Structure 1
Amino acid sequence: MTLVPPLHGDAASSAFEQRLYAKVTRRALPLLFLCYILAYLDRVNVGFAKLQMVGDLKFSESVYGLGAGVFFIGYFLFEIPSNLILHRVGARRWIARILVTWGLASAATMLVSTPLMFYVMRFLLGVAEAGFFPGAILYLTYWFPAARRGRITALLMLAVPLAGVVGGPLSGWILQNLDGAHGLSGWRWMFLIEGLPSILVGAIVFFALEDNIEKAGWLSDSEKRLLADNLAADHAAHASHSFRDAMRDAKVWILCLVYFGIVMGLYGVGFWLPTLVQATGVGRPLDIGLLSAAPYAVASVAMLLGGISADKYRERRWHLALPCALGAVGLVASGLFAADTATALIALTVASAGTMTALPLFWSCPTAFLRGVAAAGGIALINSVGNLAGFASPYMVGFIKDQTQRADYGLYALALFMAMSAILVVVAIPSRLVDR
C-alpha cells in the first residue's frame, strides 16, 4: 500500500493533490480517450465512404444525408436508458458492451447495397453507441470535482479532432489503395477495417476500467479518502436530485437548445468536410483525407487551450459563447469562399476550431449543477436531444444541396444555429450557476 507522505502546510498539500489528480488522469483518461476516437471515427467515416459509395450505389445527396443522420435517431431513443443502466451496473461492463456492439454494427455497414439497408445499419449503429459519450462524461464526475472537469473534459474531447487527424488520411488511403481488392470497393474495406478495433478495445475495457474510486486498486486508502472528500465537498454545494427533477429544470432544456446548435455545426462539418474539400477541386481520396485533417489538427490545440483557460479563470459562459460565435463566422466564410481551396480550408479550420472548442466547455455547464441520478439522466437527456441535430444537420445540408445545387446555403443555415447557441449562453445561463 502506498502511504501518503507527511504534509507540511498548504503548499505541500496542494502539490500532493496535484500529483494525485495527475495519477488519476493517467489511469482513467487514456482508455476512454481511445474509445472516443474509435466512436467518432466509426460515426463520421461515412463522410469519406460517400466519396465512392454514392456513385457505386446511385444514392442522391438527400439519401446520403438521411442515412448519415438516421444514426442519431437510434442514438436518441436509447441514450437515456443506456446511461441509467451504466449508472446502475457500472461503467466497466456497460462501456465494454457498447464498444463491442458498435464495432460489429460499423463493420457490417460494408454489406450495404440499398438505401433501406443503409438507413437500417446507420440506425443500428446509433442504438449500439447510445450512452457511450454521456456515460464517459458521467464517469468523470465519479473522479473529478467541477473545478477540474473543464480541463479533463477538454482532454477527453481532444479525441474528436484527433479522430479527424488520424481518420482522414487513413480513410483516404483505404479508399485509394484498397478499392477493388478481392472484388470489394474501397468504402467497404474502410468500414470493415475501421470497425474491428472497437471490438478489441471493448474487451480491454472490460478488464482494465475501474468503476469508481473505491474499486481502484492502484490507489491507497489515503488517496481514496482525499478524492472522495473532494467530491463530497463539491456535491455539498448542489444537492442530488432525481431524474424527474432534471426533466423539470428549465436550465436543462435551455442547455438542450444550446447543444443542439453546437451539434448542428459539428456534424455539418464532420459529415460534409470531405465533400466540401473535393468540391474545391481536390480529386484523389488520399489528398482529400490529408487536407481534411488540417482543420482537426488546429481544432485540437484550440480545444485544449480553451479548457485550460476556462479552468484557470473559473469562467464558463464567455469561454463557451465566443467559440460558438467563431464557429458561425467560419461556416459563413467557408460558404463565401467555397471555390478557392486555400481560403475555404482556412474558413473550415476556423469553423472546426470554434465548434470543437465549444464542446468540452459546454459539458462543464450541466455537470456543474446536476448530481446523482439527475446527472445520469440529465446528461443523457441533453446529449440525446442535442444530438437530434446530428440527424437534422446532414439531412438539411443534403436536401438544400439537392434543391438548390448549392452547398453554401446549407453552411449559412448551420451558422445560424451556432449563433443561436452563442446568444442563448449569454442571455439564459447565469454565470453563478457554472462559473466555479
Structure 2
Amino acid sequence: MSVEEEKDVVVASETVPVVTLDGEAETGLIAWTREEERALVRKFDWRITPFMVITFIFNQVDRSIIANARLKGLQADLGMTDVDYATSISILFIGYISMAAPGTLCLHSIKSPKWFFLFVISIWGAISACTGAVQNSAQIIGCRFCLGFAEATLYPGAVYYLSRFYTAKEIGMRISLLNIGTNLSSGIGSLIAAGILDRMQGLHGLSAWRWLFIIEGGVTIALGLLAPILLFDYPAESKALSEREGYIAQARLIAERGVAENAGDDKTMSAAWQGFKLALADPVTYCFFLAYFFFIDALGYQIYQPSIIKSFGFSTTVTLVMVFPTACMQTLSVLVIAYFSDRLQKRWIFTVGSLAATLIGYIIFMATSVSAIGPRYFALFICSIGFSTGPIILAWVTQSTVYPPAKRAATIGLVNGFANLGQIPSSYYFQGIWAPAYRISMGIETVMLFMAAFFLTILMLVLRRRNQAMDRGEKDMIIPSEAALVVGEEAIRTNDAGEREEHVRKAWRYAL
C-alpha cells in the first residue's frame, strides 16, 4: 500500500463491536477508506435529507397555515376573538409537549423507524385536512391540539434519527438542512396560500381558507407514504445498506463516541424508561431546556409575521409574497452559521452571536416609526439570523448525550418538547391593541433574547467544568459507566465496557 493510500485509510482506534443484520454481535478491528466513508455519507444525504427537508416544509406549513387562513376570514367566519385565535395557536404546543419525549423514546425502541415516520406524517396530514371542516372556535382549538399531539415526534425524532447516522462534525449541518424546511415554510406556505386564497374562494361552496387546510393536509398524507421507500432503518438493521456499509456506519460512530449504539442498550420499554430517568437526573438537560425555551419564546414573532407585514399597508397577496424573502434570509443564515459551527466545533459563540444579530433587528424595529416601512422590513431580515440558534442547540444536545442512546432520545424529546412551551406565551405578544407599532411586543421578545443568552452561557460553563474534570481523570456522569448502563453485569463484561469508558474519558469531550 502506498503512503497516499495509507493516509486514506481510517481505522477505529480500538476493537469495536458491530451488529450484523441477523442481530449477532461481532467484534473486530474495522478499517475503511475516506472515500468509502464519503460515499456512505452521500448515500445517507441523498436518501434521508431531501425527504426530511420536504417533510419539514409541510410540517411547518400545516402548523402555521392558520396565520395565512386568518388573512382570508377564518377568524371572522368562526366568530373568534383575538384571545380565541391566540389560544388556537398556543394549544397546539400543549399537545406537542405531551408527546415529544414519549414519541422519541418509541422511535428509539422500534426496529424500523421508516414505518414510524409513515404513521406520524400521515396522521397529522389527516388532522390538518379535517381542520377545513370546523365550524366554530372550540372545534378549531380541538383540531389544533390534536395536530400538536400528532406531529410532536417529528422534530425531536428526526434529530435522534440523524444522530444514529452522522458524526458530531456532520450533524449540525444536517439538522440545519432540516430547518431549511422550517425556515422556507413560511415563504413557500405563503406563496401557496396566495394562490389558493386568491383563486378558490367559494369553490364548491367552501371558503378559500377551508381549501387551504384540505389541500395542504392531503399533500402531507401523500408525502408520508414515501417514508418507507426513502428512509433507512438503523445501520445495524438496515437491509438497504450492504454488510460492509453497515459495519462502517456503526464503526465510525464508535470511533468518535467510544461506545456502540447497540452496546448495553436494548429495545425494551425498561431500557427506554431507564434512559428517561438518566435524562431527568442530568442538570445539563435543564440547561438545554431553558436555553431552547427562551430561544423559541424570543423568536415568536414569526407566526405573526404576515400580520406584521400587512400592517405596513400591503394587500393580502403582496403581504404573503413579501414573507418569502425573509424566509430565504433565515435559510441562508442557518446554513452558513451551521457550517462554521460544525467545522470549528464551537457551539456557544455561534448561538449567542446569532441571538445578538436578532437583538439588533429588534432595536431597529422598535426605534423606527410606523411609517418607516423600509427600515422595519429590513429589521425583519436581521431578526431572521437568530433562527440559526435552534439547530445548533439541538446538535449540541446530541453531542452532549452520547450514551446510552435511550438517554439521548429522551433528552432530545424533553428539550424539544417542553421548550416549545415558549410558543405559548409568545402567541399572546402580538395582540391587535399593540399594532401597528408592536414596540411592546418586540420589547418583550428582547427580554427573552437576553434570557436565552444567559442560559446558553450557564450551559457552556457547566460543560467546560465537566471537560476540566475529565482532563483530571475524574469520572463524569455522562461517560458510560456501570451505573449508567441499562443492562446486566454479564453484558457489561462481555462488551468490555471498562475499556471503552477509559477510551472515551481520554478522547471524548463536550463541545463548547
TM above 0.5, yes or no, is: yes
Could you tell me which amino acid in structure 1 is paired with residue 393 of structure 2?
F
Match of 2:5 in 1: 8
Could you tell me which amino acid in structure 1 is paired with residue 373 of structure 2?
T
Tell me: CA distance 1:334–1:176, structure 2 relative to 1, closer, same or farther (3 Å).
farther
CA contact (8 A) 2:169 2:343 kept: no
Could you tell me which amino acid in structure 1 is paired with residue 351 of structure 2?
L
Of 161, 173, 196, the residue aligned with 1:139 is 161
Could you tell me which amino acid in structure 2 is paired with residue 21 of structure 1?
V
Q: Normalized against structure 2, the TM-score is what? A: 0.79
CA contact (8 A) 2:56 2:181 kept: yes
Match of 2:414 in 1: 381
Distance 1:244 1:339 in 2: 54
Distance 1:243 1:325 in 2: 34
The CA deviation at 1:403 is 7.4
Q: Tell me, yes or no, if structure 1 residue 204 matches structure 2 residue 226.
A: yes
Q: Tell me, yes or no, if structure 1 residue 25 matches structure 2 residue 45.
A: yes
Distance 1:77 1:168 in 2: 29
CA contact (8 A) 1:47 1:271 kept: yes
Match of 1:279 in 2: 311
Could you tell me which amino acid in structure 1 is paired with residue 227 of structure 2?
V
SS in structure 2 of the partner of residue 214 of structure 1: coil
CA contact (8 A) 2:47 2:230 kept: no
SS in structure 1 of the partner of residue 428 of structure 2: helix
Q: Tell me, yes or no, if structure 1 residue 57 matches structure 2 residue 90.
A: no
Of 361, 369, 386, the residue aligned with 1:330 is 361
Match of 1:368 in 2: 399
Tell me: CA distance 1:339–1:68, structure 2 relative to 1, closer, same or farther (3 Å).
farther
Distance 1:117 1:396 in 2: 24
Distance 1:304 1:358 in 2: 11
Q: Which residues in structure 2 correspond to 1:254-293 (within 5 Å)?
A: 254-266=287-299, 268-283=300-315, 285-293=316-324
The CA deviation at 1:229 is 0.7
Larger RCO, structures 1/2 (Cα 8 Å, 6+ apart): 1
Distance 2:435 2:48 in 1: 48
CA contact (8 A) 1:318 1:426 kept: no
Q: Report % sequence identity.
A: 23
Tell me: CA distance 1:19–1:210, structure 2 relative to 1, closer, same or farther (3 Å).
closer
SS in structure 1 of the partner of residue 430 of structure 2: helix
The CA deviation at 1:405 is 8.0
Q: Which residues in structure 2 correspond to 1:310-329 (within 5 Å)?
A: 310-329=341-360
SS in structure 2 of the partner of residue 59 of structure 1: coil
Distance 2:183 2:109 in 1: 31
Q: Tell me, yes or no, if structure 1 residue 428 matches structure 2 residue 459.
A: yes
Could you tell me which amino acid in structure 2 is paired with residue 349 of structure 1?
F
Q: Report the structure number with the largest CA radius of gyration.
A: 2
The CA deviation at 1:406 is 5.7
Could you tell me which amino acid in structure 2 is paired with residue 29 of structure 1?
T
Q: Tell me, yes or no, if structure 1 residue 195 matches structure 2 residue 227.
A: no
Could you tell me which amino acid in structure 1 is paired with residue 6 of structure 2?
G
Distance 1:92 1:386 in 2: 26
Q: Tell me, yes or no, if structure 1 residue 123 matches structure 2 residue 145.
A: yes
The CA deviation at 1:60 is 2.4
Match of 2:101 in 1: 80
Match of 2:269 in 1: none
Tell me: CA distance 1:339–1:257, structure 2 relative to 1, closer, same or farther (3 Å).
farther
SS in structure 2 of the partner of residue 117 of structure 1: helix
SS in structure 2 of the partner of residue 435 of structure 1: coil
CA contact (8 A) 1:68 1:395 kept: no
Tell me: CA distance 1:237–1:309, structure 2 relative to 1, closer, same or farther (3 Å).
farther
Distance 2:174 2:7 in 1: 24
Q: Normalized against structure 1, the TM-score is what? A: 0.92
CA contact (8 A) 2:329 2:385 kept: yes
Distance 2:35 2:230 in 1: 28
Of 365, 368, 379, the residue aligned with 1:347 is 379
Distance 1:326 1:131 in 2: 30
Distance 2:420 2:64 in 1: 14
Tell me: CA distance 1:348–1:215, structure 2 relative to 1, closer, same or farther (3 Å).
same
Question: Between Structure 1 and Structure 2, how many residues are aligned?
Answer: 426
SS in structure 2 of the partner of residue 387 of structure 1: helix
1:154-176 residue CA offsets vs partner (Å, 9 max, x unmatched): 11211111212311111122122
Could you tell me which amino acid in structure 1 is paired with residue 374 of structure 2?
A
The CA deviation at 1:145 is 1.6
Match of 2:132 in 1: 110
Tell me: CA distance 1:350–1:311, structure 2 relative to 1, closer, same or farther (3 Å).
same
Match of 1:3 in 2: none
Distance 1:281 1:397 in 2: 17
Of 30, 36, 44, the residue aligned with 2:56 is 36
Structure 2: stretches of 5+ with no match in the other structure = 10-32, 266-273, 468-508
